[in-house]
Structure 1
C-alpha cells in the first residue's frame, strides 16, 4: 500500500466533505481522545464540525513514511463560529494497518468552542509545541534535517508575534 497516496486520498475525502466514504480510510473501532467513536460517529463529528466551520480546510505540508508509520504536518485553516479566521498546525503520527486512526483529527474539533483571541492563541501554542515534541520523541524530526531547538525557537517567535497582535487588553 502506498501510504502517501492513501493519506492524501483521506485528506481529499475530508476536504470534499465525503464523510460517508471514510470507512475506506478510518478503522471501524476508531477511538477519539481515548473513547470509542466508530467510523460512522467519527464521520458525523467531522460533518458537524465542518458545518460549523464551512471553510475549514486540511492542507498537507509534510508527510513522512517509515514502514507502516506515517507522520503528517498539516495547516488547518478556517473561520471559527465567532468569525475569527485562523490556522492550526496539526502534527500527527500513527501506525497504519489498513485504515487511519482518527486520533489525528480529535484536536481540531476544539476550534468549535473557540470564542476569544486568548483561547485561540493558547490552543495554537499547545498544538505547535506538542507537534514539535511529538515529532522529536518519535524520532521523525531528525530525518528532516531540521534541528528541534531551531524549530522550537521559530515557533516561539511566531507565537510571540501573534500575541503582540492581540488587542491591548488581551495581549498585555
Structure 2
C-alpha cells in the first residue's frame, strides 16, 4: 500500500506519517525504515534543529537509511523490506540540478513495492507565489511530482494545521465537449446545474 502524506511547513505531515508507519508496522509485526532524503548543512542551525526533532520522535527500533546521493532513493526503495517511510519528496527534488528529475524510476519502484510505503511531501502550491524564477521552478516541479505520485497512491492525505483530510481518487478532466463554460455562473441556471 502506497500512502502519500502532503502538507505545508509545520502542518504535522511528518508526525502523522510517523504515526501511520508505527501503527502499520505494529499491525504487521514488521520493522520500519525511515528514508531521509535531506542533506543537513551543519552551518544551518535551524535545519539542524528540525532534523534533530524528527530524529527524537522516531522509536530507537526504527532503522534509518540516508540518501547520500539523490539517486539513492530509488535504490533504497528497491532494496528495503518492511514498512518504509520516506521524508521527504521535496528535499529529494531539491537535490536535483534545476529541479529536473525523471520520476519514472521512482514511480516504477513504488508500483513494484509489495510492502507498505509512506511518502511525505510538501504541498507548496498553497503558499505565496514565489518571487524568483528559481522558487517558481521548484514549486512547479514539486507540484508535478506530487501529482504523479498521488496518481499511483492507494491513499493520499493532506495535513493542514494538524488536521488530516483524506483526498479522493485522482479526478479525470472531462473532454472539452463536456466541460462547463468558464466565467461567472448564470444565476438563472444555478439550480439546474448544481453550481
Query: Normalised by the size of structure 2, how large is the TM-score?
Result: 0.28
Structure of larger gyration radius: 2
More helix by share: 1
Task: Kindly indicate whether structure 1 or structure 2 has the higher relative contact order, using CA contacts under 8 Å at least 6 residues apart.
Answer: 2
